[in-house]
Amino acid sequence: MAGHEFVFALELSDEPYFEGMLADVTSAVLVHVGYQGAAIETLRAELGAALRAGAAAGQPWCDIRFRAHSGHLHVSIAYPGRAEWRATRALPPEGKSSPHGERGARE
């Protein structure tokens, strides 16, 4: 919903153990702001790939942030010493859901 403004952040360690929990948290945040179906699954898959890349590089922990601001949802994953992964999605209008958004990118 475009009127939402919030920040939800997590610090995670031991990637293999939190993958299921993070999938549930991601779904809950996306449903809360009005996304459904394919949009949720797409972002969950992108987050999972970014987390697996960080874990494969030997990173023991990361910060994950969901920020709703000015009609957009900004999602980031930061591992120490690595480029931050980011994705931005336009928030669905109130009362509607969005099946698509902009793709994630490394910065």
How do residues 7-46 score in pLDDT, each as one tens digit? 999 998 765 667 788 888 999 999 988 999 999 999 989 9
- Which residues constitute the domain of residue 43? 6-106
Q: How does the average pLDDT of the chain come out, rounded? A: 81
Question: Looking at the domain assignment, is residue 48 inside a domain?
Answer: yes
Question: Looking at the domain assignment, is residue 93 inside a domain?
Answer: yes
Indicate which CATH number applies to the domain containing 59: 3.30.565.10
Q: Which two tokens stand for residue 86?
A: 């980011």
pLDDT of residue 103 exceeding 70: no
pLDDT of residue 102 exceeding 90: no
User: With contact defined as beta carbons under 8 Å apart, do 15 and 55 qualify?
Assistant: yes
User: With contact defined as beta carbons under 8 Å apart, do 12 and 59 qualify?
Assistant: no
Domains in the chain, number: 1
Question: Looking at the domain assignment, is residue 1 inside a domain?
Answer: no
Residue 104: the pLDDT is 43
Residue 65, beta-bridge partner list: 9, 76
Q: Which two tokens stand for residue 34?
A: 């009005």
User: With contact defined as beta carbons under 8 Å apart, do 62 and 81 qualify?
Assistant: no
CA angle (102 as vertex; 75, 3 as ends), nearest 5 = 65
Residue 65: the pLDDT is 96
SS3 category, 14: coil
